[in-house]
Structure 1
Amino acid sequence: MQESVRDTLAANLRHARTRRGLSLSELSRRSGIGKATLSALESGAGNPTIETVFSLSRALELPISDLLDQRPAGMTVVRAAEAEVLTGEGVDLRLLRRIEAGPALVEVYDQRVRAGRRQPSLGHVGTEYTVVQDGALRVEVDGTVAELGPGDCVSFDARLPHRYAAPDGPVRSVLLLAYDAPHPAGPGHPHP
């Protein structure tokens, strides 16, 4: 049986917080997430959203997959019907794969932007790349706007405030988050 996003986040969040010696109060202060919500997330009872996970990534200075990935060994097949969706204000994300090559890390997500919706982000670690597969995507990064269509790609420093919108209908895209600098060891990965 596949572990749920909720259970995986609970274990990985607890591990990351305690490894850094942070109390729930300090993580709450750094992330802007209430202590009760953090406690619920760590116990597996919370309902994580994109905004929550990105805030935790920013506060803990971790790749998002360090919070969401189970790190399976061998061949991995991600079936659309079986993958859990992380839902935000205007976007649905499914983590498809975490790719490590030396100190570099890339996370691959299936990203769906809902019609007429916006997904804001205050920023998070990494460099963000989005390749539009279907639809018209509006991307705003730190005040600069780009309109993208199928086959178009945008990249930017993900620490900058940014927003995705699908003003003309739903958008299907692939989101890649790349982390250039050596990243802290994630769950199941010892420190070098």
Structure 2
Amino acid sequence: MSGPEGSIRGMLALNLKRVRSRRGLSISELSRRSKIGKATLSQLESGAGNPTIETVFSLSRVLEVPISDLLDAQQPTGLRVVRARDVEVLSGEGIDLRPLRRIESGQAVFEVYDQQVRAGERRDSLGHVGIEHTVVQAGRLTVTVDGHEVELEAGDYVGFDATLPHSYAAPEGTVRSVLLLQYRSDQRLDAGSPHQIPGEGAPCGA
């Protein structure tokens, strides 16, 4: 990251007002729908806020756009190497996400994240647009989707409609996994505009 413009905070500040305006929502109305305070939203739009996972996912759900339309991602081309040490972490209740790559293929859009659920903690989501895919790399992960609970171990996969309420928990220790969010291309706010995941402005590093 070379500066705030390339950070998650900077990217969200650049895009939130644009997306909100496209949706025809005032800050007051967005606050009412998202349950995020007006002062917090104003700070986020000015680049002074400190967004969490919960905030970003709530905005994605209410504005009905992929996460990367808020974090400013683009389809990469050619060889792309993403170093974990260079990726800014988006943290929230019980979980840390590192945005790695956005992939567009036909009518499908995918966002790839390195996901870590912290030991003994849980993350709840009211739901957001898209289909969610998770592959556990290490640890034991408890996933609950619309009241249905499953236990996953290293190598296990789960996929579900992300609009349903869901949660991740790591009761026995820290869990590492790959999170893949899948969208239809028509769910993007502006498919024709250039986008960039934080740090993906060069072929190497994110």
Maintained 8 Å contact 2:76/2:103: no
2:187 aligned counterpart, secondary structure: coil
Give the partner amino acid of 1:78: V
Give the partner amino acid of 1:49: T
* TM-score calculated relative to the size of structure 2: 0.87
In structure 1, the partner of 2:89 is: 85
In structure 1, the partner of 2:173 is: 169
- Percent of residue pairs identical: 66
Deviations 1:8-31 (A, max 9, x none): 011011111112221111111121
1:58 lines up with 2:58 in the alignment: no
How far apart, in 1, do the equivalents of 2:182 and 2:89 lie? 20
Q: 1:94 to 1:62 in 2, by over 3 A?
A: same
The root-mean-square deviation of aligned C-alpha atoms, in Å, is 1.7
Deviations 1:136-156 (A, max 9, x none): 000011111100001100011
The count of aligned residue pairs is: 190
1:115 lines up with 2:124 in the alignment: no
Give the partner amino acid of 1:141: V
Maintained 8 Å contact 1:103/1:183: no
Greater relative contact order (Cα 8 A, min sep 6): structure 1 or 2? 2
How far apart, in 1, do the equivalents of 2:191 and 2:56 lie? 16
Maintained 8 Å contact 2:65/2:189: no
Q: Which runs of 5+ in 2 are unaligned?
A: 195-206
Maintained 8 Å contact 1:9/1:44: yes
Give the partner amino acid of 2:92: G
Q: Which runs of 5+ in 1 are unaligned?
A: none
Maintained 8 Å contact 2:99/2:113: yes
Runs ≥4 residues deviating over 4 A: 72-75
2:113 aligned counterpart, secondary structure: strand
1:37 lines up with 2:40 in the alignment: yes
* TM-score calculated relative to the size of structure 1: 0.93
How far apart, in 2, do the equivalents of 1:90 and 1:189 lie? 33
